[in-house]
A and B are shown apart, each in its own frame.
Chain A
Amino acid sequence: MAKKVLLIDDDPLIVRMYERIFSFANIDIKTSLMPTDGLAQASAIKPDLILLDIMMPDMDGLEVLRRLKGDDVTKAIPVIILTNLSDEARSKEAIKLGAASVMVKSDFSPKQVVEKVQAALGTTK
């Protein structure tokens, strides 16, 4: 059975691209453009991994992470931060809050992001 990944990012172009790239890699990708919707989806579908943006409207990605880790249903789900910000303080805070790792979008190609996710899911070919 394909592993489930939830992507929470407010950029529709990013979401559209990763929907396609992950589906080609045989990963069941669910997406959310809104942090609140993302939290609800995380509880409902219990994905194997969450990819989370930091800069989002309404709710900061770190706040989303805090809520995910504070909820018994979602706290065990590994979260990878996928962000445009290369702010070291924020990265450290994300790790402190329980993120598995932080990836700066400009440092990784989408293919590398998929490989990293596959490695985290233990599905590397």
Chain B
Amino acid sequence: MIHKDFFRLGPAVKAVVIFSVFIMLALAIPELKTPINASGVLAAASVFYSILLGFYIAAAMTNLSRLKTLVAVETGALIAVYNIVKMALPERLDSTRDAIDDYLIKRFDYEVHNYDEPTTAEFFAIFNVLKGANPKSAGETAALQYIAEGEYYVSQARRETTIVGARIVTPVSWFVLSVLSLVIIVCLFVMQTSSLTSHLITALLSASAISALFILDDVDGNRFGEDQFAINTYQDVFHAMGELAYYPRRYIEMGRYEPQEKEYRVGHGKDVTIVKHPNHRK
């Protein structure tokens, strides 16, 4: 079994670890004599592997790009709502800021693809600012209309995150990809000679075949560039409201994110504490 910490490593570190394993294997395994036509099998397996892998990486990347856009739509709208309330309805600013803060903290209790349903109540509470609002000028009317439109568009974006954030590589596809990569690796080891160059090429190609699967898993699991789109983008909202950044405790405990702020909040659910960073760089 692969240790769970391995999955948290960056792609470059993962590739180095995988290469190290394969170079040791390549050096340890002697030249093999088999009756099969390894080059023919390698060619066939490589074609199927690259087609399937290419298809899934393209599809997963499209979904990930859309997910990033949706997160940007949501966070941008929340900042806009806060600023509009600040200008047009200052008496409702504190309650709006608290509602957005509560919503984002709850949102971090979930992943970027499954927070829609559990945070519905907190999300709509933000727009309580519209309840009973009685605009007294054209400017106030426009501001309130903008907030009402924001509620609709962000609701749609939240719904869509559930769809585009879901994994698309099925267990059967993972099985097929794993089998094909295994066939490729076995063929490479069967074809290697005793020269150091051959060992290096075998290890490099084998590591590439496996690394590509890890990249696919990262993209499909929305972990590719997660720091920026799923964590930092939301911090922009906290900063815009003059609040401390907030990070879910599990992100820090799992090593998924290392906060850089001098002071920030950490928590899970309602249990939120303020942390002072011992080695802040900002």
Contacts and interface: CB of A to CB of B under 8 A. Distances in A.
A13 B138 CA distance: 24
Interface string A95-113: 0000000000000011100
B260 interface: no
Contacts of B135: 24
A115 B117 CA distance: 33
Interface residues of A, number: 13
Contact of A17 (B133, B141, B142, B149): B149
Contacts of A21: 145, 148-149
Contacts of A17: 148-149, 151-152
Contact of A13 (B144, B145, B152): B152
Which of A14, A109, A110 gathers most chain B CB within 10 Å? Answer: A110
A114 B142 CA distance: 12
Interface string B119-140: 0000000000010010100100
Contacts of B145: 20-21, 24-25, 110-111, 114
Interface string A12-52: 01101100110011000000000000000000000000000
Contacts, number: 37
B149 A110 contact: yes
Contacts of B62: none
A25 B141 contact: yes
Contacts of A111: 142, 145, 149
A111 B141 CA distance: 11
A16 B149 contact: no
A125 B149 CA distance: 21
Given A24-B133, A24-B141, A25-B141, A13 B155 contact: yes
Nearest to A19: B148
The A interface is mostly helix, strand or loop, or mixed, namely helix
Interface in B214-266: none
A24 B144 contact: yes
A125 B130 CA distance: 22
Contacts of B273: none
A8 B148 CA distance: 19
B194 interface: no
B39 interface: no
A16 B156 CA distance: 13
Which of B141, B142, B148, B155 gathers most chain A CB within 10 Å? Answer: B148
Contacts of A13: 151-152, 155-156
Contact of A20 (B148, B155, B156): B148
Nearest to B153: A17
Given A17-B152, A24-B133, 18 more contacts: A13-B151, A13-B155, A16-B152, A17-B151, A20-B144, A21-B145, A21-B148, A24-B145, A24-B148, A25-B141, A25-B145, A109-B149, A110-B145, A110-B152, A111-B142, A111-B149, A114-B145, A125-B138
**Which 9 pairs, one residue from A and one from B, show the smallest C-beta to C-beta distance?**
A17-B152, A20-B148, A13-B155, A24-B144, A24-B141, A21-B148, A21-B145, A110-B149, A17-B148
22 contacts: A13-B152, A13-B155, A14-B152, A16-B152, A17-B148, A17-B152, A20-B130, A20-B145, A20-B148, A20-B151, A21-B145, A24-B133, A24-B135, A24-B144, A24-B148, A25-B145, A110-B145, A110-B148, A110-B149, A111-B142, A111-B145, A114-B145
